[in-house]
């Protein structure tokens, strides 16, 4: 009996710690946390962290892959589970995972081309190349830099408040690459680089992508941090059942998942506790369901709350974690740039606009980095703050656009039928940091437009533009409702313009343009239309543009004030002056309802005004191929009214029924005149009302409009594609 009692006691002493702890004596073992990748499903990790905090479980090391790496890193640098919940809820994940700049952030030249091209291809060395990924991750890295700024000087991730490591995959060998040193934000960008979605990342001689491919549940990496037992949270997708393998996509997904699941099963053997939230019905792109995912993670962890509390009572003391905080200001003692090959350093320093030594807030650095990125010379722009004895060195890291772009636009409307726009965007030809844009428009109306931009050496936002343009278009001339003639207008021009061309809101420029115009009447007779003009004109232009989009704006203001003067003394065949005012304002009333209004006024006075310098009214979505100034007017045929002066007042309302699905009503009161009217009488103006429905399509917005007005009882217009 004594022997049995002794045997029983020894067995209890051996087995009991296994029930009470993951395998170490009281107060002696350390607990590691392993968070798997899974895209949006990784939000479930936050729910698990909430339960771990509630149970008092101290974490002594964290490893993660992809989204698990991001959540784990933020927890490791000091954010609580509640703070992470609030953080992920306020972030705009759709915006975060795109590199497209908002129109308001674009420089003025880019706003002209915004929303004109349906798709683009890269080409290098005369050959077309598919991109290495759809997203470079500019916004992601900037947000991660902001969230981890309080640990910006820590380069060894084991020295973070909680030791941390994440995993990526070597794209060349398929092997796991452990990321435990360097800039934390860049490491997190590497671990989440989903192939074909995000571009690969250069990391210490490796070209790496998402760690999911090599080790989605990085348990062995957490053990290497010196912990004794592991809590592993697996949100990865399981293999499909046979009944689910019914189509091409499910079979491809299953094939892709085999090595991921095999690696996960191997890593699970190292885990002391595995928490698997029930995420059936969710996928990696469900960023709009984060609340459900957090709750499911919490529910899954709560099933183990008793065991977690036992572990908490026996575990090593928790690691003190400082609260994350953003410094009020940073003392910058030097600025350095890494990664430049073809772009001039002047572009970086001009846009950054930081002159050390100086004391500046972090927001000023971020604004400078954003300005550099939106110059569109770079695929990605990041920064690093390195400690110096008397402050910090700001190191700007850039990845230059490695290739030129070939872009394409398609357009159909009921006036000009189908049109194709071909574009080449060439960077760093001649002047470093320059852009050459070549556009060819094919269709009933033809245009070639070449524009060469480069930054000035004198001040930020200033630059020079050279332009060569040939346009062939047709204008119908009316008398009342009756068309009298059709005129073919051929115009060749060259232009030089200087000013604050690279501003994002307000641009002022002065220029000189020379042009030759040849008019040919193809139908009917056009009295007063001279066949040939040679024109040299001075140009002055002031523009303010904060519209959020080119088509169906939901907010912002557009203002243009232009003046042009043609003088015989410069070699012109005539002389005249043109003045233009164009103002539009879009006011969001609710998230879906927008009210808008606008005024257009133009006047041309002088000896003889060429046809293409007159003002035209009529139609909807008029193409910008015509060099003169034309304005929409519902209830009139395209260009039905023309004259030496024009006055337009319009207002309307727009409602977004569903995402990118609009209904719009617009009313106009306008007319053209042979000379500027000195008296305003209501009966001299034409009214028009149009009701439009529109939606986004792969080649641009589609809009159908039904109209009525003073001249016509019913007119319709259909346009599909970006306006160019």
**Residue showing tokens 């009933």:** 444
**Residue showing tokens 């490591």:** 165
User: Which of 5-14, 258-267, 364-373, 567-576 is the least confident region?
Assistant: 5-14
pLDDT at residue 23 is higher than 50: no
449-471 tens-digit pLDDT: 999 998 876 677 888 999 999 99
pLDDT at residue 20 is higher than 70: no
CATH architecture assignment, domain 404-721: Beta Barrel (2.40)
51-71 tens-digit pLDDT: 999 999 999 999 999 999 999
**Residue 287: DSSP 8-state:** G
Q: How would residue 625 be classed by pLDDT, with cut points 50, 70 and 90?
A: very low
**What percentage of the chain carries pLDDT values higher than 90?**
60
**Residue showing tokens 């400690």:** 387
What region, left, alpha or beta, does residue 650 occupy, with left being phi > 0 and alpha being psi -120 to 50 degrees?
Answer: beta
Task: List the Cα angle 311/317/319 in 5-degree steps.
Answer: 115
Cis omega (within 30 of 0) for bond into 157:
no
Q: What is the mean pLDDT of residues 90-112?
A: 84
Specify the pairing of strand 196-198 against strand 133-135. parallel
Specify the pairing of strand 229-233 against strand 273-275. parallel
**Angle, in degrees to the nearest 10, between helices 305-314 and 44-55:** 50
Residue 297: what pLDDT? 96
Residue 19: what pLDDT? 34
Q: What is the mean pLDDT of residues 572-585?
A: 95
Q: What is the mean pLDDT of residues 366-371?
A: 91
Contacts of 482 (CB under 8 A, 6+ apart): none
Q: How would residue 622 be classed by pLDDT, with cut points 50, 70 and 90?
A: low
**Residue showing tokens 């009313």:** 667
pLDDT at residue 447 is higher than 90: yes
pLDDT at residue 624 is higher than 70: no
Domain residue limits, the chain? 31-102+136-314, 329-400, 404-721
Task: List the Cα angle 699/110/425 in 5-degree steps.
Answer: 75
Q: What is the mean pLDDT of residues 443-451?
A: 92
The residue with greater pLDDT, 624 or 236, is 236
Closest CA relative to residue 492, chosen from 304, 627, 689: 627
- How many C-beta neighbours within 10 Å does residue 159 have? 12
CB-count burial class (<10 Å; 0-12, 13-18, 19+) for 649: middle
What region, left, alpha or beta, does residue 311 occupy, with left being phi > 0 and alpha being psi -120 to 50 degrees?
Answer: alpha
Cα distance between residue 260 and residue 138, in whole Å = 27
Q: How would residue 2 be classed by pLDDT, with cut points 50, 70 and 90?
A: very low
Task: List the Cα angle 370/371/375 in 5-degree steps.
Answer: 115
Residue 499: what pLDDT? 94
Mean pLDDT of the chain: 88
Q: Quick one: fold of 329-400?
A: Ubiquitin-like (UB roll) (3.10.20)
Closest CA relative to residue 270, chosen from 612, 32, 102: 32
260-298 tens-digit pLDDT: 888 899 999 999 999 999 998 898 889 999 999 999 999
Q: Quick one: fold of 31-102+136-314?
A: Cytosolic phospholipase A2 catalytic domain (3.40.1090)
Residue 27: what pLDDT? 57
Tokens standing for residue 240:
């499909």
3-state secondary structure of 90: helix
């Amino acid at each position: 009996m004594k022997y049995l009692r002794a045997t029983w006691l020894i067995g209890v002493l051996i087995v009991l710690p296994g029930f009470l702890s993951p395998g170490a004596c009281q107060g002696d073992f350390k607990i590691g946390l392993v968070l798997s990748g899974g895209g949006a499903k990784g939000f479930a990790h936050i729910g698990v962290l909430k339960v771990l905090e509630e149970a008092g479980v101290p974490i002594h090391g964290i490893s993660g892959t992809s989204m698990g790496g991001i959540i784990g890193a933020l927890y490791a640098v000091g954010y609580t589970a509640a703070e992470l919940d609030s953080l992920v809820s306020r972030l705009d994940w759709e915006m975060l995972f795109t590199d497209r700049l908002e129109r308001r952030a674009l420089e003025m030249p880019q706003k002209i081309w915004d929303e004109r091209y349906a798709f683009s291809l890269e080409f290098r060395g005369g050959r077309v190349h598919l991109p290495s990924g759809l997203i470079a991750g500019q916004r992601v890295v900037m947000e991660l830099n902001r969230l981890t700024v309080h640990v910006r000087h820590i380069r060894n991730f084991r020295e973070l408040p909680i030791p941390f490591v994440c995993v990526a995959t070597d794209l060349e060998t398929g092997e796991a690459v452990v990321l435990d040193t360097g800039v934390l934000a860049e490491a997190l960008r590497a671990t989440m680089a989903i192939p074909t979605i995000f571009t690969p990342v250069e990391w210490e001689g490796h070209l790496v992508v998402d760690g999911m491919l090599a080790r989605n549940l990085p348990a062995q990496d957490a053990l290497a941090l010196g912990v004794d037992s592991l809590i592993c949270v697996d949100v990865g997708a399981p293999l499909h059942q046979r009944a689910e393998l019914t189509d091409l996509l499910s079979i491809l997904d299953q094939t892709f998942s085999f090595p991921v699941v095999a690696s996960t099963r191997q890593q699970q053997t190292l885990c002391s506790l595995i928490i698997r939230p029930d995420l059936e019905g969710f996928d990696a792109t469900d960023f709009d369901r984060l609340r459900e995912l957090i709750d499911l993670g919490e529910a899954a962890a709560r099933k183990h709350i008793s065991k977690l509390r036992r572990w908490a009572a026996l575990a090593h003391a928790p690691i003190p974690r400082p609260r994350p905080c953003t410094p009020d200001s940073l003392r910058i003692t030097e600025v350095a740039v890494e990664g430049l090959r073809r772009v001039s350093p002047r572009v970086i320093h001009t846009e950054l606009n930081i002159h050390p030594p100086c004391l500046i807030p972090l927001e000023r650095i971020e604004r400078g980095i954003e300005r550099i990125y939106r110059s569109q010379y770079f695929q990605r722009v990041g920064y690093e703050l390195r400690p110096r004895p008397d402050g910090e060195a700001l190191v700007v890291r850039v990845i230059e656009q490695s290739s030129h772009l070939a872009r394409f636009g398609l357009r159909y409307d009921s006036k000009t039928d189908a049109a194709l726009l071909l574009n080449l965007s060439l960077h760093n030809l001649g002047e470093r940091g320059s852009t050459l844009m070549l556009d060819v428009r094919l269709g009933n109306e033809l245009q070639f437009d070449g524009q060469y931009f480069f930054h000035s050496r004198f001040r930020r936002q200033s630059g020079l533009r050279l332009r060569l343009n040939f346009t062939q278009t047709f204008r119908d001339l009316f008398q009342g409702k009756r068309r009298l003639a059709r005129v073919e207008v051929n115009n060749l021009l060259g232009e030089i313009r200087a000013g604050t061309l690279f501003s994002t809101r307000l641009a002022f420029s002065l220029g000189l343009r020379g042009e030759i115009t040849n008019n040919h009447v193809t139908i009917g007779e056009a009295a007063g239309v001279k066949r040939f003009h040679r024109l040299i004109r001075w140009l002055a232009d002031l523009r303010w543009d904060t519209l959020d989009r080119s088509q169906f704006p939901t907010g912002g203001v557009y203002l243009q004030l232009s003046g042009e003067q043609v003088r015989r003394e410069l070699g012109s065949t005539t002389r005249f002056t043109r003045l233009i005012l164009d103002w539009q304002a879009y006011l969001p009333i609710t998230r879906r309802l927008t009210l808008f209004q606008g005024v257009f006024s133009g006047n041309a006075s002088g000896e003889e005004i060429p046809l293409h310098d007159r003002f035209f009214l009529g139609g909807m979505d008029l193409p910008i191929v015509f060099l003169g100034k034309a304005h929409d007017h519902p209830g009139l045929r395209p260009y039905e009214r023309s004259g030496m002066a024009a006055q337009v007042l319009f207002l309307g309302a727009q409602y977004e029924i569903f995402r990118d699905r609009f209904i719009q009503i617009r009313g106009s009161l306008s007319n053209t005149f042979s000379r500027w009217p000195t008296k305003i009488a209501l009966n001299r103006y034409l009214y028009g009302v149009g009701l439009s429905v529109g939606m986004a399509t792969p080649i641009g917005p589609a809009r159908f409009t039904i109209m009525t007005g003073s001249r016509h009882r019913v007119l319709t217009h259909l346009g599909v594609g970006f306006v160019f």
